[in-house]
């Protein structure tokens, strides 16, 4: 059973790594797409926000109809990854910004059938001590999201179409892994008839909602940081030295978001199993809030100082992400855990749309030096709610 669980984690993690390369596949080549599609200056933010918009739509529909709890989650994941690969590949045939952003929204909808579904599958394989397992899964998600930066960094000569094709091939590989290699979990929930009561049960579960509120604050910061940190590093490094090579800037983004984030997820999972989910999230959000405030003071200063803070930020901003999902998977009733996870991510990604689009607007007013301070609002509020949840967690431990 243990060997089977860790084998399943390997394949689910690899599948997530490949499928989530779709998330930023267009963002890393945004300048080329903006030029080709003749988009306005503000369109880059919407190009980045289009996938979260689609994810929110997909997650809302999925949670509303209880898709994750009514159908075989492995099949849902495989179909979603396949459709995502297809929709992403269609970008190479588009010459209109409207249809390009529409395809990105549709791609986001398919990813709502990948990320939360994978968390549910993994929770079935790991009925206990799942903090580390889901931490590793989110690490794979983090690396997958940053993969386009890696491709651009080492294959800068590739055309934008090649970057799109690479991410689609990876997503197709994800569908193949889930379909032909990954097995169904030995403990699965029954296929439930559709009921509107599933979402009501989620909302009425107070500890679940406290964890959700913490997650919403976490998400306000995370994707705003992931989306705009590369632009910040580019501007900062070039001001410090106009001769800073592009490959070094791309490498810095990949290390700060992908490598540091992946390490943070695994370490966070290990620690949370020992000190508790709430304590880990509180510590992580405290550190990330401090980093979001401090990093602006390094703008245009020492490249290495900026990079050190961005790496710490990258680790702390994502190290708690898995634990919010773990909390929900542990305290929600088994008959609606899939819906609860999807609902959590639906609302969480709704907040990312706001923060992603707010950053460039505020940046033009107050500059790069101060703009990331607005992201600190999320983790600060998240800490408040997780302190309340910790009381519940403490009481539960006392009763065991």
Q: What is the pLDDT of residues 339-376, one digit of tens each?
A: 787 788 888 888 988 998 899 899 999 999 999 999 99
Q: Over range 193-203, report the average pLDDT.
A: 66
What pLDDT was estimated at residue 73? 86
Q: Mark out the alpha helices in the chain (DSSP H runs).
A: 2-19, 30-37, 43-65, 67-70, 73-89, 97-111, 115-125, 131-154, 160-180, 197-204, 206-240, 246-253, 260-275, 277-294, 303-319, 321-331, 337-366, 368-371, 377-399
| pLDDT over threshold 50, residue 379 | yes
Using alpha carbons, select from 353, 352, 346 the residue that is nearest to residue 112.
Answer: 346
Topology classification of domain 2-182+199-399: Growth Hormone; Chain: A; (1.20.1250)
What pLDDT was estimated at residue 196? 55
Q: Residue 33 has what DSSP assignment?
A: H
Q: What is the pLDDT of residues 145-187, one digit of tens each?
A: 777 766 666 655 667 888 899 899 999 999 999 999 988 877 6
Distance (Å, rounded) from C-alpha 284 to C-alpha 319?
6
Q: Which residues of 305-335 are buried (b: 16+ CB within 10 A; e: fewer)?
A: ebbebbbbbbbbbbbbbbbbbbbbbbbbeee
What pLDDT was estimated at residue 43? 66
| CA 192 centroid distance within chain | 28
Q: What is the pLDDT of residues 39-73, one digit of tens each?
A: 776 666 677 778 888 988 988 888 777 776 778 88
| pLDDT over threshold 70, residue 85 | yes
Torsions phi, psi of 324, nearest 5? -65, -40
Q: How confident is the model at residue 287 (pLDDT cuts 50, 70, 90)?
A: very high
Query: Between 2 and 241, where is the model more confident?
Result: 241
When computed from its CA atoms, the radius of gyration of the chain, rounded to whole angstroms, is 20
Q: Where are the domains of the chain?
A: 2-182+199-399
């Amino acid at each position: 059973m243990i060997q089977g669980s860790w084998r399943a984690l390997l394949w689910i993690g690899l599948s997530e790594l490949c499928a989530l390369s779709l998330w930023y596949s267009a963002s890393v080549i945004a300048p080329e797409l903006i030029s080709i599609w003749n988009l306005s200056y503000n369109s880059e933010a919407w190009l980045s926000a289009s996938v979260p918009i689609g994810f929110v739509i997909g997650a809302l529909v999925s949670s509303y109809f209880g898709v994750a709890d009514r159908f075989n989650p492995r099949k849902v994941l495989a179909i979603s990854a396949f459709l995502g690969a297809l929709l992403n590949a269609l970008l190479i045939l588009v010459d209109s910004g409207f249809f390009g952003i529409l395809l990105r929204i549709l791609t986001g909808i398919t990813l709502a059938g990948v990320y939360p579904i994978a968390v549910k599958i993994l929770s079935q394989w790991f009925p206990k001590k799942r903090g580390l397992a889901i931490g590793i899964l989110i690490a794979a998600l983090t690396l997958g999201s940053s993969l386009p930066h890696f491709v651009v960094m080492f294959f800068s000569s590739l055309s934008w179409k090649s970057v799109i094709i690479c991410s689609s091939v990876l997503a197709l590989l994800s569908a193949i892994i889930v379909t032909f290699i990954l097995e169904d979990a030995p403990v699965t929930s029954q296929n439930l008839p559709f009921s509107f009561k599933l979402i009501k049960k989620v909302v009425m579960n107070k500890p679940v909602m406290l964890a959700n509120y913490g997650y919403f604050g976490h998400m306000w910061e995370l994707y705003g940081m992931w989306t705009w940190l590369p632009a910040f590093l580019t501007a900062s490094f070039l001001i410090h030295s106009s001769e800073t090579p592009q490959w070094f800037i791309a490498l810095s983004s990949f290390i700060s978001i992908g490598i540091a984030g992946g390490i943070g997820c695994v370490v966070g999972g290990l620690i949370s199993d020992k000190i508790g989910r709430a304590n880990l999230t509180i510590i992580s959000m405290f550190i990330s809030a401090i980093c979001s405030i401090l990093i602006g003071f390094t703008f245009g200063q020492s490249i290495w100082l900026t990079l050190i803070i961005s790496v710490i930020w990258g680790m702390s901003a994502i190290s708690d992400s898995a634990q919010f999902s773990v909390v929900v998977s542990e305290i929600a009733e088994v008959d609606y855990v899939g819906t609860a996870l999807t609902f959590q991510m639906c609302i969480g990604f709704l907040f990312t749309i706001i923060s992603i689009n707010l950053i460039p607007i505020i940046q033009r007013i107050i500059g790069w030096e101060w703009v990331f301070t607005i992201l600190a609002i999320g983790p600060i509020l998240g800490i408040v709610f997780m302190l309340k949840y910790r009381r519940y967690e403490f009481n539960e431990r006392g009763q065991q």
